[in-house]
Amino acid sequence: PVQPLSLNMFGNSAPPPPPDYAAEIDGLLNAALHPAGPKPSLEERENVVRNLQQKLRSEKDSLIPGDGRAALVYQNQLNRYLLLLDQVKSERKVQMLTMPAPAQRDATFARPIDSTVATRPH
């Protein structure tokens, strides 16, 4: 579907607003923290963490200063994300400690999780 073109005050077309990932982020967090059915593998959950990092960064960058509700929603999502990140990191650490030495070496080269998502809204 074609989205209507919005115009700025000069009559020029305005760029589309940044995507709103709030509902998608909530869905990913709910599925990761409270899976319906068997718990996803560690690798699958690490991929969800990476995906959430990107979406949370976009969501943070799109926050409008002074929008207290949006900041509160973002902070709640960030807190839930950090809980998931801690769970995934802990599980990875346990897995590394229980692996035989050659497997540890191979797992060391797995794509690391970036934990630099900001902890506070703007």
| Neighbour-count burial of 117, counting CB atoms closer than 10 A to its CB (0-12 exposed, 13-18 middle, 19+ buried) | middle
pLDDT digit string (tens) for 37-80? 999 999 999 999 999 999 999 999 999 999 999 999 999 999 99
Find, among 17, 88, 16, the residue nearest to 52 by Cα. Answer: 88
Indicate if the pLDDT at residue 10 is higher than 80. Answer: no
pTM: 0.68
